[in-house]
Structure formats: C-alpha cells, structure tokens
Structure 1
Amino acid sequence: MPTRATWVYRSQFCDVFWGFRLPQLFSTCVAFSLVTDMGLWRGAIGNWFMAIWCFCFAVTLIVVIVEFSDFQSFFPFYWYNFPVTFACYAALICLSASIIYSITYVRFLPYGPVGDRAIAATAFSCIASVFYVMDVTFTWNRYNLDDISCYMHTLPGLLKVLESFVAGVIFAFLSNTSLYLYQPALEWCVAVYSICFILSSVALLLNLCEYDNRLPVPFSIFQLVFTLLSVLLYISALVLWPLYQFYEEFGGQPKRSSDGDCTDELTYDMCTWDQRLAVAVLTAINLLVYVADLGYWARQVSAGTEDQPRDS
C-alpha cells in the first residue's frame, strides 16, 4: 500500500509535470521543429541550435519518464539533484540560444515564412527558459529540504553552474581554431579555460554524487585552493587574450574593420573579430564569478566551516 510520502511525491510530480515539464517539452519541441522545417535556410547555426533544443527536449523527457516510472532508486546518486541541476543549465542554455540565434542569424533572414519560423523558434526558446527557471524556483520552495542535501540549493552550487556554463559558451566560440592555433600565448588561454572547466566540473560532480565527504581534506579547503588557482589562471587569460588579439604590437587587430570577415554585413556567422571580443568579455565575466566563489570559500574557511552548508 502506498505510503503518505509516496502520495506526497506523486502530488508534487503531477504539479511539476503539468505546470512546468509539459510546457518545457512543448516549447523545446516546437523550437527545434520550426528550425528543422526551414530546410536549406537552416544553415550551420540553425543546425547547432536545433541540436541544443533537441537535447533539452530529450533530457526533459528522460526526467519525466524516470519520475513517472519511479526509477529514481536505480541511480547511484540522489535523483533529486539531477533534475534541478539540469533545469539550471537548461534555463541558461535556452536563454543564451535565443539571444545568440536572434543576433547572429534571425536578423539577417528575409521577411517571409522562413524568417517567421526563425522568430517563432526564438520565442519558444525564450518561453522554455522561463519555464525552466520557474521549475527551479518551484522545486526549491516546494520540497522539504530538512533531510535532503542538494548542492544546487547553495550559493557555491549556483556559482559552479554559472562557471561551467560560461566556459561552455567560450568553448563554442573557440571551435574556430584560427583564433588561437600556433600562438603559444593564446593556446595557453585555451588551456586555462579547459583546466578551470574541469576543476569546476569535478567539484560539481563530487557534490551531486555525494562524494565530497570522502576527500582527504575538508571540502571547504579543497574548494578554496582550486578556486584560488582558477582565479589566478583566469587573470592570466584576461591579460593575454586581449593583448594578443587586439594589439598590433602582438599581432592583433585593434579595429573591427581590419578583419576582412566583418566587411560582409550579410554573413550568417559571427565574424572572427566579434568572436575574439566575445571570448574576452566572457573571460572577464567568468573571472568575476570565480572571484565571488573565492570570497565565499575564504569566508567559510576563516569562519572554521569544514563542510559546505546543506541548508537552502
């Protein structure tokens, strides 16, 4: 016979499904379906964002199936951590996809059915990001977390999500290898982004899989050391990347007009100079996030807190 906890969980699942998961599935499905229907007008950028919306749809569907079928016990970690973590990433992914897709592609399309489909896909992507945010907020407020440990309910957990997400956007721009290949200083910057991304991902996975208490040192010390290392590495990248990309003395291009790729105003891709600038701005943003993360862990260590807080 089902227990009271089971009925409560079922009630919460129904609320979340009809209120958030179903609109998420519908919005992401419509977004990638509209782009698919654009045919040859879809382009490389359209293929990329179609894959993003399809990924969000697929993972959301998996979450719904697992929760509806009560398969949570088959996972080696506490299941609650996964959907709320994914919802955080999905909200950022759909929002950034809407912005980048509209700036780099939609505004160049001619008026007509093709342009209308692209605009509609962007709108549904925005709607999906809103419902993912609402999902996270509702989950935080609805669940009783007195006996539940969830890293996403803490400030460092949210900062880790933001750090890894910004790094992922940087990697998307760095897919254009001509930005840094055969230039040691810029290759060092790429190594910095990779190292810091790995460190953030390891910290996130340790908490989501509840392995943080198995470290040979207190987790707060572990976080403080590696966050300090990430801050120092990002400082070097913030200095070297603009220096070698925008100063003529170091082989850079100070003006956008000096980049031949940017002279074609009808291009459907971001020109190389814009990509360089985007990486520089994102580097500065992520450095600020790491500094905030460092300040948090420095305060925890100075206060003598050996374990991360488990409260919401």
Structure 2
Amino acid sequence: MVTLDFGTLTVPVGIVRLLDLILTCISFSLVASVGHSTNSFWTWCMFTWCFCFCVTFLILLLEFMHLNEMLPISWDDFTTAFAMLAALMVLAASIIYPIFFTCATCGRQIGATVTSCLAFILYSVEVGLTRAKPGEISGFLSTVPGLLKVLEAYVACIIFMCLEYSAYWVHPGLQWCVAVYSICFIFALLVIIFTICRLLSVFPAPFDKVLICCNVLAVLMYITAVVIWPLYNFQNNKTRPPNCSNLPKCAWDNLVVIAFMTCFNLIAYVVDTFYSFRLVFFVSRT
C-alpha cells in the first residue's frame, strides 16, 4: 500500500528540491518561448534544465509516496550524486547560455539565466544538506571523495565533448592523454555505478584501499597529461587564430578548454586522494 508523506516536502531538503523544480521549469520555459535553435550549446542548455527538472520531480514523487524504499539502490547515494551532477550541469548552462544567447534587450533570455543561476545555488545547497559529515555512517557518494568522483567524471565528459579526432591522432603523446582521460573516467563511473547499485561488496579487495591506489595512479597519469597536452598543441600554436572570431565553434578554443579541464581534474584527484587517505587512516580509526 502506498502511503503519502507530506513531511518530505516540508523538510529543508524537500523545500530546496521544490524550488529547484520551479526554477529549472521557469528556465527551460522562458528559453522555449523565445524559439528553437539548432545550435549545440542551446540544445545542451535545454537538455540540462529539462533533465534536472524531470529527475528532481521523480525524486520528490518517489519520496512523497515512499516508493524509494522499494528500489534496489542506495537512495542516499543516488540523490547526493544527482544533486552534485545537477549543480555542475546547471552551472555550465548558466555560463554557456548567456555567452551565446543573451543581449541587452533579451529579457526572457536574461530571466532564464537568472533562474538558472539560482537553481545552481540551490542544487549546491542540496549537496551541502545531503553530504555526510566526517565520521558519519553513510553511503560513499555522500562523502567528499564520493562527490569528487562525480565531479571528476563530469569534467572528463566536458573533455570528451571538446575532443576532436584530428587533434590527437597524429601524436602518440596526445593519444596517451586521451587514454588517461578515458581510463580515469571509466574508473570514476564504475565507482559511482557500483555504489548506487550496492555492488561494492563484489570488489576482490578492500574498496577503500583500491580507491586510494587508483587515485594515486590517476594523479600521476594526469600530471603527465597536464604537461603533454599543451606541449604538443600549443608549442607552435600559442595565439588564438584570427578566424576564430568568425566561427561558431573554434578548434583552438576546444584545445584550451581541454588543457584547463585537465588541470582542474588533476586538482580534483589530488584533493580526492587527500580526503581518501584522511577517511581511511584517520577518521575510521577514531
């Protein structure tokens, strides 16, 4: 028998999710009212707002009807991971959309940007409300290392979106960088999937020790990518080509984004390794 729990809508997390629902709905409604565009950036922003709206509505509905307890997944891990992913996606949309589609007289576009920024703030608040505190018994994705895994996977997705085959197929060094991005992304994705599906027990070794080893390896691999990627791509191509200003999508800009995101992910893996060491060797012992 399905029971309705209005209390899930009045707790702080429930209120934040309701506001997320309203703001993402306003964002994609305002943008849709302006008209359709075939630009890939427009499509990405619309997908972001619609995706976050639908999943947030699904989470609220399942918790309101207590159906989440019947799902064979770690619900806390799922909701925390989604809040982190939604915050990152909405942040990207809040930056991309105004750059390409707003102007001084574009009232609805500016309104969509404002509501998108507010949605990002609220999703970040939701992450803070659902995140496990140090020493607290909770799902892995509710901890700082778990949230960093979502961040690392998302940044890798941005790198993949900017990659073009012609940019790396000539040099083995650049192919190594792509291998680094791919290997680390696959591991982060497996950790997220295994955690949400409660499959961590199938690891043949202690999960926390495996995680530390993989994080250290990822740091070393990303250090090589941080050096190799700009070395090969910008050695004779240090300035932005003049024709880039007239193109909707410039290959040189993509190379810069990849270089920046590589450095960003290296920092994320370093912080991830630090927190993993702290959780395993300090918090768990106390």
**Bucket of the pairwise TM-score, normalised by the shorter protein:** 0.7 to 0.9
Kept in 2, the 8 Å contact 1:238–1:280? The answer is yes
Give 1:310 deviation, angstroms.
12
Cα distance in 1, alignment partners of residues 145 and 219 from structure 2: 15
Give the aligned residue type for 2:145: P
Kept in 2, the 8 Å contact 1:35–1:42? The answer is no
What secondary structure, in the 3-state scheme, does the structure 2 residue paired with 1:149 have?
Answer: coil
What secondary structure, in the 3-state scheme, does the structure 2 residue paired with 1:216 have?
Answer: coil
> What residue is the counterpart of 1:195 in the other structure?
183
> What residue is the counterpart of 1:206 in the other structure?
194
> Using a 3 Å threshold, how does the CA distance of structure 1 residues 111 and 199 change in structure 2: closer, same or farther?
same
Give 1:98 deviation, angstroms.
0.6
> What residue is the counterpart of 1:69 in the other structure?
65
> Using a 3 Å threshold, how does the CA distance of structure 1 residues 261 and 156 change in structure 2: closer, same or farther?
same
Q: 1:168 aligns with which of 151, 157, 166?
A: 157
Task: Output the TM-score relative to the length of structure 2.
Answer: 0.86
Gaps of 5+ in 1: none
* Alignment length (residue pairs): 285
> What residue is the counterpart of 1:242 in the other structure?
230
Cα distance in 2, alignment partners of residues 124 and 298 from structure 1: 38
Give the aligned residue type for 1:205: I
What secondary structure, in the 3-state scheme, does the structure 2 residue paired with 1:243 have?
Answer: helix
> What residue is the counterpart of 2:244 in the other structure?
262
Tell me if 1:52 matches 2:48: yes
Q: 1:273 aligns with which of 237, 249, 252?
A: 252
> Using a 3 Å threshold, how does the CA distance of structure 1 residues 34 and 201 change in structure 2: closer, same or farther?
same
Cα distance in 1, alignment partners of residues 185 and 285 from structure 2: 24
Give 1:14 deviation, angstroms.
3.2
* 205-214 or 280-289, which deviates more: 205-214
> What residue is the counterpart of 1:137 in the other structure?
128
> What residue is the counterpart of 1:152 in the other structure?
141
**Alignment deviations for residues 258-305 of structure 1 (CA, whole Å, 9 cap, x no partner):** x254242xx5x352222211110110111111122223334566x3x7
Give the aligned residue type for 2:69: S
After the TM superposition, which residues 1-312 of structure 1 pair with which residues of structure 2 at under 5 Å, given as runs? 10-16=6-12, 19-39=15-35, 43-103=39-99, 105-106=100-101, 109-112=102-105, 115-140=106-131, 149-174=138-163, 176-248=164-236, 253-256=237-240, 259-264=241-246, 267=247, 269-298=248-277, 303=281
Cα distance in 2, alignment partners of residues 204 and 41 from structure 1: 34
Gaps of 5+ in 2: none
> Using a 3 Å threshold, how does the CA distance of structure 1 residues 220 and 78 change in structure 2: closer, same or farther?
closer
Give the aligned residue type for 1:244: Y
**Alignment deviations for residues 61-91 of structure 1 (CA, whole Å, 9 cap, x no partner):** 1112211222113311232221222111111
Cα distance in 1, alignment partners of residues 33 and 56 from structure 2: 22
Cα distance in 2, alignment partners of residues 299 and 22 from structure 1: 35
Cα distance in 2, alignment partners of residues 31 and 182 from structure 1: 42
